Amino acid sequence: MTRKLRSRAWFDNPDNIDMTALYLERYLNFGLSLTELRSGKPIIGIAQTGSDLSPCNRHHLVLAERIREGIREAGGIALEFPVHPIQETGKRPTAALDRNLAYMALVELIYGYPLDGVVLTTGCDKTTPACLMAAATVDIPSIALSVGPMLNGWHKGERTGSGTIVWKAREMLAAGEIDDEGFIKLVASSAPSTGYCNTMGTATTMNSLAEVLGMMLPGTATIPAPHRDRQEAAYLTGKRIVEMVDEDLKPSDIMTRDSFLNAIVASSALGGSTNAPIHLAALARHVGVELSLKDWEEFGHAVPLLVNLQPAGEYLGEDFFRAGGVPAVVGELMRQGLIRESAMTVNGRTIGDNCRDAEIEDAAVIRSFDNPLVKDAGFLVLCGNLFDAAIMKTSVIGDEFRNRYLSDPDDPDAFEGPVVVFDGPEDYHARIDDPALGITDRHMLIMRGAGPIGYPGAAEVVNMRAPAYLLRDGVRALPCIGDGRQSGTSASPSILNASPEAAANGPLALVESGDRLRIDLKARQVTLLIGEDELAARREALEANGGYAYPESQTPWQEVQRALVGQLDSGAILEGAEKYRRIAATKGLP
């Protein structure tokens, strides 16, 4: 190692022997020796996201041992430390609140302690973006290790996918097809091992995209958590980070605009979660890459869906791995000229070199480009007088929905109808089955008060089920629109992430039940069919009332986040944080 490592400022600083002694002294107390700490070996952090509070990532507690062995073997010293846990399904009111908290805290750790490189242990939905965002801000050599998906879930001979089965089970419960016990059993069947959701939810999406971005060793994103290859991946990741420190290969060298565009293309082929545009926007802003929501439509919309995973398809995580995982998908896209091949990755090679020869091992699970599951599978970006931007995942529009809403031969891409408005998920749960609302199969459901400020954090609640009486008539999905998010494991063709949100006094705050709405997918327009005068009068009344009302904060962090958070279309980051970029270089040592 010829370059002077940043850890030397702590452990080997002749100009400040006073502090050096203090820094050294405390890291000795659990058994590291003076010789080791003063040897000039790179100090590698293992950012540990696993804990009993976060079962999806808990297996990282085991994998960390193999990461350490890799680090040690390559000549580094490992220091493992906790990352603020984020459990998607366990954290109330929503785990989305904690992405920015974990980000901010991890920046402090990577920057403020004697670390030369870091292994990011990723997994459950927000843990992956939180870790990558922090690594981007500090910009020291960093490599991600996915914890991997759970084994496939099974129930009565059929695959049950995590998250996805919940939506189905809820509908079955509401329709009286199963009882409470049956509901719990069906849902539990989808989680048979350690690991994250085995569907193409936000976890599989974000870990796959971390690999496409170049931040993970090729082929490692999709290895199931309990598989022996996952242990080997941990070991190789530990070895590689030491070399990366030697090469000074940093997140800013890897996460370029080219690699983000590759991620957008891959996201469509994966059938990626609607949370991906939010997290990639956030990551791009922290690493300093221009990326707009429009890029998703421009580069992603025309890409077909190749990966046949639930919720859009049939299979689950084990199958995806067996079929070749991310390299097989990227390789197939590459043969169509859709991948920017020169984008660099953590192994020091380009994505082109990594994936060129990767082949699809099971064409039922990963389809070939000329036999896709869905054509034009990327997101649509919609706008209009109700919001400036929202996205829609068109790959999950089913036949039932298409026949009901998109079958008018004179107007095949548009539909129109009255709306019913809910203010937050509690309001929706309390009233959805109330016959007084008079919801018919021509109605559209609007969820507001569910954005980054309103909820706060932005709840995954936009995909609302139809009232029980419609479900019994076979109407499963009504069009849903909202300023919140939708779980990546849901198969609803909702219009999501509408920005600005009602709580920021966007036009969504003005809509009333009974208003008519027109959605034109071809024109990418959502129009509230209301006169300008009426809208202006409602705006005046809203302002006179002090703006859109939302519940008060319950914790200090909720208040801090609400004051600083931006809207979903620009990543919902802490506004102002993006000016702290590449701080290890630009700000020097703390």
Give the shortest CB-559-to-ligand FES separation in angstroms: 26
Which residue stretches of 288-385 are H helix? Answer: 293-295, 317-322, 325-334, 351-355
Residue 87 interacting with Mg ion (CB under 5 A)? no
Least distance (Å) between residue 201 CB and ligand FES: 5
Binding residues for Mg ion restricted to 201-220, rule: CB under 5 A: 202
In the bound state with Mg ion, the residue whose beta carbon lies nearer, of 117 and 456, is: 456
Record the tokens describing residue 555, joined without a space: 């914790």
Q: Which does 487 bind (CB under 5 to 8 A by kind): Mg ion, ligand FES, none?
A: Mg ion
Is the Cβ of residue 125 or residue 258 nearer to Mg ion in the bound state?
125
Which does residue 89 bind out of Mg ion, ligand FES, none, counting CB within 5 to 8 angstroms by kind? ligand FES
CB of 49 to ligand FES, least distance (A): 11
C-alpha closest to that of 128 among 153, 95, 150: 95
| Of 59-67, 103-111, 200-208, 572-580: span binding Mg ion (CB under 5 A) | 200-208
Axis-axis angle for helices 127-138, 276-287 (nearest 10): 10
Task: Please tell me the total number of residues recorded for the chain in this structure.
Answer: 590
Strand 77-82's sheet: what is its strand order? 77-82, 43-48, 117-122, 142-146
C-alpha dist (Å) from residue 255 to 73, 202, 299, 485, 570: 28, 20, 17, 25, 18
With respect to ligand FES, which residue has the nearer C-beta, 162 or 308? 162
Which of these ranges, 120-128, 292-300, 345-353, 426-434, lies near Mg ion under the rule CB under 5 A? Answer: 120-128
Q: How far is the CB of 161 from Mg ion (least distance, A)?
A: 13
**Whole-angstrom Cα distance, residue 231 to residue 203?**
19
The tokens describing 403, both together, are: 């026949």
Closer residue to ligand FES (CB): 125 or 246 = 125
Surface-to-core class of residue 532, CB atoms within 10 Å of its CB (0-12 exposed, 13-18 middle, 19+ buried): exposed
Phi, psi at 527, each rounded to 5°: -125, 125
Site string for Mg ion, 286-315 (x = CB under 5 A): ------------------------------
- The distance between the two most distant Cα atoms of the chain, rounded to a whole number of Å, is 81
- Taking CB under 5 A as the criterion, the residue among 87, 487, 490, 497 binding Mg ion is 487
Place of tokens 């660099």: 344
> Whose Cβ is closer to ligand FES: residue 194's or residue 237's?
194
Q: Is the separation of the CB atoms in 307 and 329 below 8 Å?
A: yes
- For residue 325, give both structure tokens: 């995982």
User: Which residues here bind ligand FES, judged by CB under 6 A?
Assistant: 56, 88-89, 124-125, 162-163, 196-197, 201, 203
Residue in 69, 5, 80, 83 with CA at minimum distance from that of residue 45: 80
527's contact among ligand FES, Mg ion, none, with CB below 5 to 8 A by partner kind, is none
Q: Which does 113 bind (CB under 5 to 8 A by kind): Mg ion, ligand FES, none?
A: none
**Which CB atom, from 199 or from 494, has the smaller least distance to ligand FES?**
199
Closer residue to Mg ion (CB): 85 or 114: 85
| Token pair listed for 185 | 């059993």
By a kind-dependent CB cut-off of 5 to 8 A, residue 196 interacts, out of ligand FES, Mg ion, none, with ligand FES
CB of 60 to ligand FES, least distance (A): 13
Alpha-carbon separation of residue 335 from 207, 263, 330, 369, 507 (angstroms)? 23, 16, 9, 9, 44
According to DSSP, residue 567 is labeled: -
Q: Which is nearer to ligand FES, 201 or 457 (CB)?
A: 201
Q: How far apart are the first and last CA of the chain?
A: 23
Stretch that binds Mg ion, among 118-126, 220-228, 447-455, 505-513 (CB under 5 A): 118-126
- Is the Cβ of residue 92 or residue 579 nearer to ligand FES in the bound state? 92
Contact of residue 198 among ligand FES, Mg ion, none (CB under 5-8 Å per partner type) = none
SS3 305: strand
Q: Rounded to the nearest whole angstrom, what is the least distance from the CB of residue 67 to ligand FES in the complex? A: 20
Query: Of residues 122-151, which lie at the interface with Mg ion (CB under 5 A)?
Result: 125
Residue 412: asked if its preceding bond is cis (omega within 30°), the reply is no
Binding region for Mg ion (CB under 5 A)? 88, 125, 202, 487
